Amino acid sequence: MAAVLLDAEALSVIAFPKERGSAARRAQAVLDAATQRSTPIRVSAATLAETYRGKARDAAIDRVLNQGIDVLPVDRGTAKVAARLLTNAGLDSCSAIDAIVVATAIRLGATLILTSDPDDLSLLAMDHPAVEIQALI
């Protein structure tokens, strides 16, 4: 596996484990396994637009990110892949950030996406077997 990629919900689950119970324990287990295997843990910068909401919340998100999680920029190539994913899945721009997450995973290679939204992400990744979607729910 090239990387573990967190979507917005996965990042929130890790930042606020007391609110999320078993999902937080599952997410932490995946992160611990990735760390043991020296697999990078990453998040798309677009994901941060969904998670940052104000001082206290932002501080918790930043604490998680500061533990060695790489924030990846969204470049033109990733945007074009995301646009094709939306078109192929018959989705509109309301799913743009999900498409960017999947496009980022595609460009990284064999990547596990940790999410609480497996249906939409699986639809977007349907033609990309190297992208694995793991549900936290």
In this structure, which topology does domain 3-135 adopt according to CATH? Rossmann fold (3.40.50)
**Average pLDDT in the 26-34 region?**
93
CA atoms within 13 A on the CB side of 35: 9
pLDDT of residue 21: 86
Per DSSP, 66 falls in state: T
Listed residue (47, 36, 62) closest to 7, CA to CA: 47
* Helix ranges (DSSP H) in the chain: 8-15, 17-20, 22-36, 45-51, 55-65, 76-89, 96-108, 118-124
Mean pLDDT lowest among 7-11, 55-59, 127-131: 55-59
- Dump pLDDT digits (tens) for 63-100: 999 999 999 999 999 999 999 999 999 999 999 999 99
- Dump pLDDT digits (tens) for 31-73: 999 999 999 999 999 999 999 998 888 999 999 999 999 999 9
Q: Which residue has the tokens 């396994």?
A: 33
> Angle formed by the axes of helices 76-89 and 96-108, to 10°?
120
CA 15 to each of CA 27, 36, 56, 59, 98: distance values in angstroms, whole numbers, following the listed order: 11, 20, 11, 9, 19
CA atoms within 13 A on the CB side of 2: 13
What pTM did the predictor assign?
0.94
